Amino acid sequence: MSLLARRSEFFFWCFITTIGGIIPISVGGLIVYLFAEGSSIITWDLFSRILSNSWFPADEEFGILPLIVGTITSAAAVLPLVVCLGIPSALYFVLFANERAQTIFSMVVGTLSGLPSVVVGIFVMEVTGINFTSAVIVLFLLVAPQFILMVATSLFQLHKGLLISAKALGLGDFGITVLILRQISLPVFGAMLVSLGRGFGEAVALTFVAGNVATMMPDWSGPIRTLTTTIVLELDFATGAHYSILHIVALSVTLLIAVTVILSGIFSRRNNQ
């Protein structure tokens, strides 16, 4: 290759790297922005108020603990449901369904995973009303399809020889299922963490059904308020300290999600090893 061609290729890749770097930089920039805007008004007095358990912005009470409790509780409450119904569904999809059933099921799960959250929110609000239970149902509908697709993907990646050998050894459906579940335990944990992250981040659909009252002790028939629904409901009229606190709320939910991303990355790497 001539020097000119080599040099022009070098400059081309420099250009591509500059353009391509904008996306990760903008994600990092978003976090820096949230931190800068949120911390701009922080004083020791305000910091202690943020860690209280009373959220009444009109009275300058900015305790985000009940919002964090609401976020973690709702996302954690949906997880057992997602795992108990999601793993058998993924197993059926990959192992037991015939071609026709696979096509139908992939369309069903794909459609559910692509459903706009407003559609899910409006459906659940109409069917089960406004309470914590409805919030969990909404999150189930939004999180479960993604979980199934992730578990199904890890099942597809299993070596086919494993299943053929298991069948050749005379293992029945139950034996094969146990064997497979042991093989995919790490990807399943990863999928659970990603689902948890998705649960932390849901906003609009929860606004319809959660009742939006900040509480430290959520109960199944009562209301709940999460970090993201607070932003949806209050960004319109927030000013001054309230506006900055909403950035701290956004930073909090982003950090919660970052933890799930880091942990699922660790599981993924271990699985690859």
Partner 1 sequence: MIRIICMCCALLFLGLILAIGFDLYTEAADVFYDGYLTDKPSDLGTKGGIAPIILNTFIIVGLAIAIAFPFSLAAAATYTMVLKSQPTTLQRLFIFLIDLGIGIPRIVWGLAGAAIFSGLFGLGFSIISGVLTLALLLSPILTFGFIAGIESLEKQLKIQCQVLGLTDLVTFWMQLIPSAKSALLTTTLIAVGRGFGDAAALLFTSGIASRIPSSILDPAATLSVWVFQLTTAIPGGEKRAFAAAFILFTITLIIQGCLSISNKKRFSL
Interacting residues with partner 1 between 8 and 47 (CB under 8 A): 9, 12-13, 16-17, 19-24, 26-28, 30, 33-34, 37
Q: Which is nearer to partner 1, 116 or 129 (CB)?
A: 116
216 to 255, contacts with partner 1 by CB under 8 A? 228, 231-232, 235-236, 246-247, 250, 253-254
Among 46, 49, 61, 106, binds partner 1 (CB under 8 A): 106
Indicate the residue among 44 and 170 with the shorter CB distance to partner 1: 170
Of 183, 161, 179, 182, nearest in space to 171 by CA: 179
Token pair belonging to 56: 């009444």
Residue 170 Cβ vs partner 1, minimum distance, rounded to whole Å = 15
Query: CB within 8 A of 222, min separation 6: which ones?
Result: 131, 132, 211, 213, 215
Name which of residues 109 to 168 contact partner 1 (CB under 8 A): 109-112, 114-123, 125-127, 141, 144-145, 148, 156, 160, 163-164, 167
Size of the site for partner 1 (CB under 8 A): 97
By C-beta, is 60 or 110 nearer to partner 1?
110
- The set of long-range contacts for 128-131, using a CB threshold of 8 Å and a minimum separation of 24, is 128/209, 129/209, 130/208, 130/209, 130/210, 130/211, 130/223, 131/209, 131/211, 131/220, 131/221, 131/222, 131/223, 131/224
Cα(49)–Cα(242) distance, rounded to whole angstroms? 12
Looking at 59, 99, 239, 272, which residue binds partner 1 (CB under 8 A)? Answer: 99
**Binding segment (CB under 8 A) for partner 1, from list 44-52, 55-63, 72-80, 103-111:** 103-111
DSSP string spanning 172-234? -HHHHHHHHHHHTHHHHHHHHHHHHHHHHH--HHHHHHSB----SS--TTS-B--HHHHHHHH
Smallest distance, partner 1 to C-beta of residue 242, A: 13
Q: Is 1 in the site for partner 1 (CB under 8 A)?
A: yes
Q: Tell the smallest beta-carbon distance from residue 77 to partner 1 (Å).
A: 18
Nearest CB to partner 1, comparing residues 21 and 48 = 21
Residues 250, 245: Cα–Cα separation, whole Å: 9
